[in-house]
Chain A
């Protein structure tokens, strides 16, 4: 019946006969997964580069990691438009801070700034699930995880985005050393990068929004290094 009708007639009839609602919907879930792991003197931040909407892929090469200073990286998954605006808000405040203090903002100060910036939109939130990775005042790695309105907490590791439910248990076990009987060991930056690559391969297997490639940034006292590791494209 309806399948054989020409397309324009189909839509006109649908408007006339079926009820539908119009709703202001500013949000779009663009998918993606981000991970951040802190070590003794480094932080590894990683995010897959796939950007999707619904069941379509919009870009295979959209970064989710943003270096705010040379010791702090913001990782944000969710809606890319909100993430971009959030980045610009933060960037403006950071630039003002640098001009008036003649020094870059410390990671803990950036973490608090992001929390307040997110909370200023408490009634119309940014659709961004953020984490901040950076070195604290003593040079130890710190990861701060946020919810959508700015509640944050310092952690040793964190993971956000569509693959969160697949990855978090692995991080809890490997990095958090939960429910393990062997002795806890501290990892070097290279070992953590290898773990992160494996984790993204695992997440790509089951999560449709994760894949294409993973961008990995390692923050050390000397600066930030970046690496891109390819993942499955399907």
Chain B
């Protein structure tokens, strides 16, 4: 009798079904159903996301997925944003580009975050991927405008070039000239991070003028205000626009040109830039305000009443980024005007000042939590907080997915009761059952961690600083937070016991960062021996670990799971604790 195969229809049908499955999680799930699904799935996967470039090697990715069109890679740990990761740590993209050059000639999209990208890498990208459409370099560094020139000249199908927050060696603005005159496919351009005065403005104007599909244009600070009108008139179809410097002498011709230009941008929904903004020129955007869904004023030194007046004209706002010049009063206006608000970020205008320079307190956040029912994501810098306020906020916003509170004095207590803020944050995790990201600050004991372990079951990323008293704190988090992927800790007095007791948990997470904590060298070595599939990286400026006692605390510790084994591109101040570490030294 003929054996019936489980699937008696052609692979192409399954492939077609899989083409509707876009999320990595679902694809991964499908791929482990059986061997034939694994095979079919891997041949038709087009998109790969690698959250830690050292968790897997490019060879392994290429071996499993032979025909990728879109790749996203992340390099340095998040705390690199705050200068906690020393220069030279790693995150080089060149090995990936080199391997992919041969394997994925049809690659269309490259997205990199916190990676070191050199001009050599960019030149290789331009040469190897003729069909490249999207290049996003998010918080990257190591390249110059020469590399960008190569991309401009070589990638004829480029639609999106986004350099957000990257550190670029700005040698000359003339890289824009390298886009050929025949190039017309630009849809999105973000050069807001570029620094030099030498922006080739005429090249930019010509580029904007010949790309009819340009929808997103974020300029850098050096572009003067009086050039904006001309630029906008060439691109009235823009949806998202970032100005350059927003300061200039008040001149009626410049003013009226701007009014007209903004008025003609009927589809404009998102504005940013506004460096050095002066109140005089704010009204030119009033015609756009009612349509705005996203407004980033976090570089604008505008104060009240001008700031609040502007905000009150934007009832459709979903996303608002602003400096603390908005003050509690402005946030109350925001709360009453912007009922669609989903995301709020308030940055400090004077983070290192000893005394508050503005009247922004917990009251502003309470007001927004009360007035904006759709609020989901908060980043809030302020100088005082109370448990009562946090409890109110938690009760008002059970739908929070991201909550990051940064008290400028990291160990400050509840200003009303002088108690730790454990109860307040406890309320956040208890009420916000979908919370995926949380950053703590203020005076916090082990208690808050007990609450987090107990309630934060969907929490994926937790950031902790100057908190807790003992290893119990870390133990609560590692043993209780089932969905935890990324944990980053600085200046907390715990380590060894909790880490060793929860070693297996670390393999279920992407990474753990601990700096200026109490993790001993001995514990790191033990972990390295016990857990071969974890890379235990110890960073210390003082010298190699073997020169110090086992009980000495390590300066910085970065642990991440990896199937690629220890890496070999480490700088002299990083040591991997693996099974061979002890024997290597003897």
Q: Do A and B bind each other?
A: no
Residues of B within 8 A of A (CB): none
Residues of A within 8 A of B (CB): none
